[in-house]
Every structure is written in C-alpha cells, then in structure tokens.
A and B are shown apart, each in its own frame.
Chain A
C-alpha cells in the first residue's frame, strides 16, 4: 500500500495485453506504463476497448496473453492472490454500482473493514474524513437512491479512495450523469490529481482530458494507436484515425 514504485519507477506496466470475448478480440496487444503521480486519459470511440482495459487491470476479466505488473510484481502470474491485488487498485464504474441496501457510510467502510480488516472505528474515521473533504458528510446516513447521480458517483469514488489504492481507474464516470451534475465529479477528480493520485481515466470529456492528463492515449480497435502529451494529441494528432475521431467530437460540439 503506497509503497515504493517498482524497480523501474512504474506503478503500472502492461505488456502485450490481449483479451477476447469469445471470438471477438477486444484488446489486441496493449503496452502501457504509468509512473507515480501520473494521470493518463484513455480516449477513443465506444467499443475501442477502454473499459475492458480498465477491467483487465483490476483483474475483473481474465486475459489471454500479456503481463500486468503493479509496483514490480506481476499480478497476472499464476498463484497471485487477486483479492490482495484488487485492494491496491481502485476502480469506479460508469453506473456507480453503489450497494443499494447500505448507507453511504457503510458503502465506504465495507472494503476497509472486510478486505483490509481495519476496526470499525478506524474505517469510519477514514470514511468520514473523506466524505467531509468532498462535501458529502451530511449524506453519510442516507441510502444511495436518496442521492443525485452526481452525489452517488462521488460516493463511489470515495468508496475506492477509502481503500487507499496505489492507482485509481475511472471508467467513464461522468457518462451516466445529467450534464449539470458532471462538473462536481470532475472537480473531485481534479482535486485528486492535484493531490498526486496516480490515475488511468477512460473518458469522453475531451476538455477535461486536455487539462488534467499528463498523457493521452487514443485507443482504436483494441490497440493504442497514438499517445502523447495532451497538447500534441489534441492539437496535432499524427494518425488519420485520431484526426477523424477528434473531428467527429468537435462536430458533436463536445470539445
């Protein structure tokens, strides 16, 4: 937990990752490295493999080929305790996936008490601190369906943060939200970036990607077609497919 980065200074390293669903090959050889405090944005059309890549990193999907190395330890090797790995990685989903039968507080403390085996008091202190920091302290006794979508998604992010992960994966976390609720969630993520959280973010919010990312990766048909600093990707993309994608985004008025 928050230990030293791997010998090569990387928090996360992915080599030659392949993933298929039946006959459909979704990821066709992904290579990606993420350094400490780095924020990576994954952009690309729906179906390009962004979500699948994030789910593979959290070991929620078995992979066919390749390696995933977290802090120098290969987590895709045989005999690795997947539960231990997942405790180091936070993932937040598009549809929040809060537990509807638990209060906000219990949603946040479940992981710390049951997976990290922290005491109830310790978990609650940690949870309340986070909820206060992100302006949700007064909601701690509410059930998720009493919250707005934006509030639910912020709770989902806090739930991941309570595990104090080495890296946070965000899977289109604003895509299910009404437009006026998006900014609250994005502000939270910006604050996390300022705090030095290492993140991989799949997103359709290009403006957001542009000002938060250290590096932007354009995924197309299961490969990272182009990657670089946001100024380069957004201002002078090299690949025709990247240019085409960004053009369609501009035409849709989303940048």
Chain B
C-alpha cells in the first residue's frame, strides 16, 4: 500500500495517466519473451506450435478406436439436432447462477463481517461463522444438493417450496457462501490497521469503520478471486441435473439416452465454455479498468 503503509510516501501523481505498470506488464508477459529475441524466435514459436499440434492430430487420427470415437462424440448430425434444445435449457443454468450469485455475495459478506467482529462479546457469532464455513467447505457440494434436494421437499412443510430448482439453488448458495466468505475475509484482513486507526480516530464506531473504510477497500481487492469462484459456481449449476432439474446437462443426458450417441454432451460443454470464457475476460477487463481509473497499481 502506498498510502497507509508507506513511510516513503510515493509521489504517485508523477506517473503518466492511463494504465498502471502492473496491468501493462501482465498483458505483455506472454509475448515479452518473443519480442526480446526478435523475428527469429517468433518464427521458431510458430513452427514448434504447428509441429506439436500436427503430431497430436496425427496420433489421434491414427489411433485404433478413432473412427468409433468420432462416430460417438463428433457426430455433426446429433450435434445440430441437440444444440438448440440444450442452449434453451442452458437458460435454466444461467438463471440458477444469477440468483445464487446475488444471494452468495450478500450472505458471504455477512458471514465474513461476523467473523471479523472484534472483542469478546462477539465470540459466539465468530464461532458460528467459523463453524459454518468449516462445515460447508468440508461437505461435497453434490451431497448437500442431494440431501436438500430430496430431503427438504419430503418434509412436506406447508409453505416451503418443493421445487428441485429452488433447493438446488439454496444448496449452491449455502456451499459457495462458505468459500466466498473466506475470500472476503482475506480481503478484510489485508486492509492495513492504520486505515482502521484513521477511521476510529474520527470517532467512527467499529461497525462504521468496517462499513465505510474496510469493506469497500476489501471488496475491490478480492474481485479477481471472487470471480474465479463464480466461474466454478457457473459450472456447478450442472449438478442440479442430479435432483431432476431439467437444465443443459440433464437435457444432453436425455438426448444421449435416446440416441446412444455422446455428441450432445459435447454440445453442452461448448455452451458452458462459450459462457465462462467471456466471463473470465470480463474479470480481467474490470480489474484493469479499476486499476487505471485510480492509478492504484502500487496501492493494490
């Protein structure tokens, strides 16, 4: 941190406007090795890439089972037939993801703040928060989904939803909040104590210091790891298929069962990838924008 930690007090205003050194450095790291050596190394890189993939393709195409695999996994016919319905069902995954994410962001922050409350008075709350994260990080997601997905509706309590989708999303929220709470907590603990001292010296209470000074800075810092967890969450929405939610993966299972051809799974995989890759790129972009907006490369 340049500001609270720095005895050296860097004169950041002298940096040129635009993006920080860090952001620039990261983007060009892959190509940097090539540029140093010039055109010759670029040529070698291209050549070795071509050779590598040619060899790989030749090996696969000449393998004894290739024709069988090609028929079972790479059938253009089944792909074209199954894709529209799978893409349509994928909207269920997207909905599960978006609803779960909104609740996770709030619930996990609540858990993390509980765990960050200082002093002996709040010990029971801290304990609860720790027990919660330990429990849900320890149990396989799939078991939580099974138990809640089949168990909760079976209780037949008046007013409690019976839909598998509902309990599937609840399970994802419960499990992922445990992980995201840990991410938040790491962010909260990374804020320098001098920031808290400055807030408290203005007469702000502990909670006000958390709310106005600590949490806003912590959240900014943990955006990249948070988004990583959300890419995981997005993939795990496929687990809802196991309790009967008719989403993309469930749809491809149905298609496969009907045709004995595995190509529909490939279509499902493609749909997921098409969604997650832009998400990761968006994360990178968000991080870069935040950095360049405030020139805070050194402060992060």
What's the nearest-Cβ distance from chain A to residue B36, in Å?
32
- Given contacts A86-B202, A159-B202, whether A101 and B217 have CB atoms under 8 Å apart is yes
Interface mask (A101-118 → B, CB under 8 Å = 1, otherwise 0): 100000000110011100
| Interface assignment of A176: CB less than 8 Å from any CB of chain B | yes
| Interface assignment of B6: CB less than 8 Å from any CB of chain A | yes
Docked-complex contact B295 and A116, CB < 8 angstroms = no
Which residues of chain A come closer than 8 Å to B8, judged between CB atoms?
176
Docked-complex contact A110 and B3, CB < 8 angstroms = no
Which residues of chain A come closer than 8 Å to B2, judged between CB atoms?
145
Q: Nearest chain-B residue to A116 (Cβ)?
A: B203
Docked-complex contact B197 and A95, CB < 8 angstroms = no
In the complex, which of the residues A84, A97, A115, A148 has the most CB atoms of chain B within 10 Å of its own CB atom?
A97
| Of B153-161, B205-213, B279-287, the one with at least 4 CB within 8 A of chain A | B205-213
B-contacting residues, A80-133, CB 8 Å: 83-84, 86-87, 89-91, 93-101, 110-111, 114-116
| Interface assignment of B296: CB less than 8 Å from any CB of chain A | yes
B-contacting residues, A163-197, CB 8 Å: 163, 175-178
| Of B9-17, B63-71, B140-148, B267-275, the one with at least 4 CB within 8 A of chain A | B9-17
| Interface assignment of B253: CB less than 8 Å from any CB of chain A | no
In the complex, which of the residues B2, B10, B198, B216 has the most CB atoms of chain A within 10 Å of its own CB atom?
B198
In angstroms, Cα B200 to Cα A90, docked, is 11
Docked-complex contact B200 and A60, CB < 8 angstroms = yes
Which residues of chain A come closer than 8 Å to B198, judged between CB atoms?
93, 97-99
Select which of A93, A144, A159, A175 is within 8 A of B194 by beta carbon: A93
Give the A interface residue count (CB, 8 A). Answer: 39
| Interface assignment of A242: CB less than 8 Å from any CB of chain B | no
Docked-complex contact B6 and A95, CB < 8 angstroms = yes
A-contacting residues, B1-39, CB 8 Å: 1-13
Which residues of chain A come closer than 8 Å to B199, judged between CB atoms?
99, 110
Q: Nearest chain-A residue to B202 (Cβ)?
A: A111
Docked-complex contact A100 and B217, CB < 8 angstroms = yes
Which residues of chain A come closer than 8 Å to B296, judged between CB atoms?
100, 143, 145
Docked-complex contact A97 and B6, CB < 8 angstroms = no
Interface mask (B43-61 → A, CB under 8 Å = 1, otherwise 0): 0000000000000000000
Select which of A55, A86, A111, A177 is within 8 A of B9 by beta carbon: A177
Q: Nearest chain-A residue to B197 (Cβ)?
A: A60
- Given contacts A176-B6, A176-B7, A176-B8, whether A145 and B204 have CB atoms under 8 Å apart is no
In the complex, which of the residues A99, A111, A146, A159 has the most CB atoms of chain B within 10 Å of its own CB atom?
A99
In angstroms, Cα B203 to Cα A83, docked, is 4
| Interface assignment of A198: CB less than 8 Å from any CB of chain B | no
In angstroms, Cα B92 to Cα A123, docked, is 48
| Interface assignment of B299: CB less than 8 Å from any CB of chain A | yes
Docked-complex contact B194 and A95, CB < 8 angstroms = yes
| Interface assignment of B261: CB less than 8 Å from any CB of chain A | no
Q: Nearest chain-B residue to A177 (Cβ)?
A: B9
| Interface assignment of A222: CB less than 8 Å from any CB of chain B | no
Q: Nearest chain-B residue to A159 (Cβ)?
A: B202
Docked-complex contact A97 and B11, CB < 8 angstroms = no
| Interface assignment of B292: CB less than 8 Å from any CB of chain A | no
Which residues of chain B come closer than 8 Å to A147, judged between CB atoms?
13
Docked-complex contact A163 and B9, CB < 8 angstroms = no
Which residues of chain B come closer than 8 Å to A175, judged between CB atoms?
7
In angstroms, Cα B80 to Cα A22, docked, is 72
In angstroms, Cα B199 to Cα A160, docked, is 11
Select which of B6, B194, B201, B216 is within 8 A of A86 by beta carbon: B201
Which residues of chain A come closer than 8 Å to B12, judged between CB atoms?
145-146
What's the nearest-Cβ distance from chain B to residue A154, in Å?
13
Which residues of chain A come closer than 8 Å to B200, judged between CB atoms?
60, 83, 86
In angstroms, Cα B204 to Cα A149, docked, is 25
Docked-complex contact B299 and A145, CB < 8 angstroms = yes
Which residues of chain B come closer than 8 Å to A84, judged between CB atoms?
203
Interface mask (B115-141 → A, CB under 8 Å = 1, otherwise 0): 000000000000000000000000000
Which residues of chain A come closer than 8 Å to B212, judged between CB atoms?
99, 110, 114
| Interface assignment of A76: CB less than 8 Å from any CB of chain B | no
| Interface assignment of A152: CB less than 8 Å from any CB of chain B | yes
Docked-complex contact B202 and A149, CB < 8 angstroms = no
Pick the 4 closest A-B CB pairs, nearest first: A87-B203, A111-B202, A115-B203, A97-B198
Between-chain CB contacts (< 8 Å), 12 pairs: A84-B203, A93-B197, A95-B6, A97-B195, A97-B198, A99-B195, A111-B203, A115-B204, A143-B295, A145-B13, A145-B299, A149-B11
